[in-house]
Amino acid sequence: MSKVYDNIRKVCDYIGAIVLPNGMIALPNGSLVLQNGVIILPTKIKTFNFYTDTYADTEDKVFLYSGSEMCDRPEKEGYGYVYATDYAVMCGAGTHDYDGDGYKDKPKRWKKCRSCNGTEKKNVEYFDSSRYPRSAPWNTCFVSYPVLHLDLESFISAHAQSAVRIGSKHLGSKHYLGDICFHTATIGLEFPKTYVGEILDKKLTSLKNNGQLRKTGAKYTGFMRDDRSFVQNEEYEYNGERYVLIEVKKDECNKYNRLENHKICPETGEYAWAKVEPILFQIQNWDDLPRSINPEGNGSAKFVEMETEEGIISGLPFYPKSGKSEFAMWQNSLDRAYLNGYNLHKEIDKGNGNKKYKALENFDFEGKGFLFEASQGLGLHMEAKHDPLEPEKETKPNTSKSTSREK
């Protein structure tokens, strides 16, 4: 055991923190420290149940935007017009190029509570590619776009050490919204994203069949089967890169579902390869960041708000049934369990949710789920250059507070 790792364990034992198997550190206040020092903050969420006129308060590190947040975003900024990764499409995402811009097909996205328009009492809804709200919590062809709140000081410190990379992305002049520029960041999290193409796909399959590929031990959740089990897609290493062999589930409602570069999605039951790549996040409060990050920022931000630039997972229903109001609540959703790595019933029973409206079906992603899967490549390296619990003095993160938002 290295001296760095031993010191981290001692500090964690002293403050009551836990070093997780993949190197992340769970702090007593609910924050999560990545191996590069970036701190994911817990966010207090107030979700309204329109059927019962009650609230369900939760505190989660990963969440989805609500209908009101989606509707309030200016169309000219392009918010809401995001796309699905090839991995999400091969896990069952349904995509449609409604506007014919030829840029990339658009999926339907889950949101965690009802839309902002109208007063009807509906189930949880999703947004289609035109941001129109619809209902169907049991459907599996929609995609999820995780949202995170990051501790600002730890973000600044990691950026100064090149552990966080900030950039921008242009949609291009041919896009129907115009050449919009988004500010983006990578924070060390990775996930299967892009189909490798027919040539490399055949080569990787041949190497695997001949026992010439090394399994890394990492797995990524795929679609939900009819028996409520989840596909586990395994990761392999080849020439220093990581690839995942995907059991494909194609959205049967759209036989022309397309991948990157307009390649048609493989058929259900087939297998295909995707490359593991850094998750690109859109920085949603760019204008509010300090000038050390944004030279023109106003410095009013208390944290960094980020949403994945593309929908990264599909094939998972919000809740696999309908008929009761609690099925439509964020606190009971499969999305919440998977994105945060919860045993959902256990989480609600200890007060993170409204026990009165706990749904019958439990989802157990304890010790796994999105955050675990996306940080599998980080590890806790023995040659780590700095202790993530001891950032630079001038940028010491304040982990005593969570962020909050009302839905």
Residue 25, H or E segment:
strand 25-26
Please check whether residue 12 lies inside any domain of the structure: yes
Residue 52's pLDDT is what?
61
- Do 49 and 134 have their domain in common? yes
- Do 186 and 199 have their domain in common? no
Please check whether residue 261 lies inside any domain of the structure: no
Backbone torsions φ then ψ of 204, nearest 5 degrees: -65, -40
Q: In what order do the strands lie in the sheet with 133-135?
A: 133-135, 125-127, 109-110, 143-144, 313-314
Please check whether residue 256 lies inside any domain of the structure: no
Residue 19's pLDDT is what?
82
Residue 268's pLDDT is what?
78
Please check whether residue 44 lies inside any domain of the structure: yes
121-to-26, 58, 110, 360 alpha-carbon distances in Å: 38, 21, 17, 22
DSSP 8-class letter at 340: H
99-to-171, 175, 380 alpha-carbon distances in Å: 15, 10, 45
pLDDT in tens, the chain (407 residues): 355 556 666 778 778 888 887 778 888 888 999 988 999 999 998 776 655 666 788 999 999 887 666 665 555 444 445 578 899 988 988 765 544 444 444 444 433 333 223 233 333 444 333 333 344 555 667 788 899 999 999 999 999 999 999 998 766 544 545 556 789 999 999 999 999 999 999 999 999 999 999 999 999 999 999 888 999 999 999 999 999 999 998 876 665 666 776 677 777 789 999 999 999 999 999 999 999 999 999 999 999 999 998 889 988 888 776 556 666 788 888 999 999 999 999 999 999 998 988 888 899 999 899 999 999 876 433 233 333 333 333 444 444 556 766 55
Q: Rounded CA gap, 88 and 251, in Å?
A: 11
**Facing residues of 172 across strands?**
none
What are the start-end ranges of the H helices in 124-232? 152-160, 198-209
- Do 16 and 144 have their domain in common? yes
Please check whether residue 257 lies inside any domain of the structure: no
Please check whether residue 259 lies inside any domain of the structure: no
CA dihedral 218, 220, 226, 227 (to 10 degrees): 40
Which of 275, 291, 325 is a domain's end point? Answer: 275
- Do 286 and 311 have their domain in common? yes
- Do 231 and 313 have their domain in common? no
pTM: 0.82
Burial class (CB in 10 A: 0-12, 13-18, 19+), 306: buried
Residue 13, H or E segment:
helix 3-15
Helix (H, G, I), strand (E, B) or coil at 237: strand
Residue 371, H or E segment:
helix 370-374
Residue 38's pLDDT is what?
93
Structure tokens at 30: 């609910």
Please check whether residue 20 lies inside any domain of the structure: yes
- Do 199 and 283 have their domain in common? no
- Half-sphere exposure (Cβ direction) of 24: Cα atoms closer than 13 Å: 24
Q: Rounded CA gap, 328 and 326, in Å?
A: 5
Backbone torsions φ then ψ of 83, nearest 5 degrees: -125, 170
- Do 9 and 150 have their domain in common? yes
- Do 293 and 373 have their domain in common? yes
Which of 275, 309, 333 is a domain's end point? Answer: 275
- Do 160 and 242 have their domain in common? no
Helix (H, G, I), strand (E, B) or coil at 146: coil
Structure tokens at 292: 């050390």
Residue 222's pLDDT is what?
94
Structure tokens at 371: 């955050």
- Do 290 and 307 have their domain in common? yes
Q: Beta-carbon neighbour count of residue 401 at 10 Å? A: 14
Residue 369's pLDDT is what?
94
Structure tokens at 36: 């590069």
End-to-end CA distance of the chain: 46
Helix (H, G, I), strand (E, B) or coil at 192: strand
Q: Rounded CA gap, 155 and 142, in Å?
A: 31
Which of 275, 309, 343 is a domain's end point? Answer: 275
Q: Are 224 and 361 in contact (CB under 8 A)?
A: no
- Do 289 and 314 have their domain in common? yes
Residue 239 sits in which domain range? Answer: 194-250+267-275
23-to-1, 5, 15, 324, 343 alpha-carbon distances in Å: 14, 10, 17, 39, 20
Q: Rounded CA gap, 148 and 138, in Å?
A: 25
Backbone torsions φ then ψ of 345, nearest 5 degrees: -65, -40
Residue 84's pLDDT is what?
83
Q: Report how many domains make up the chain.
A: 2
- Do 384 and 283 have their domain in common? yes
Q: Are 86 and 194 in contact (CB under 8 A)?
A: yes
Please check whether residue 19 lies inside any domain of the structure: yes
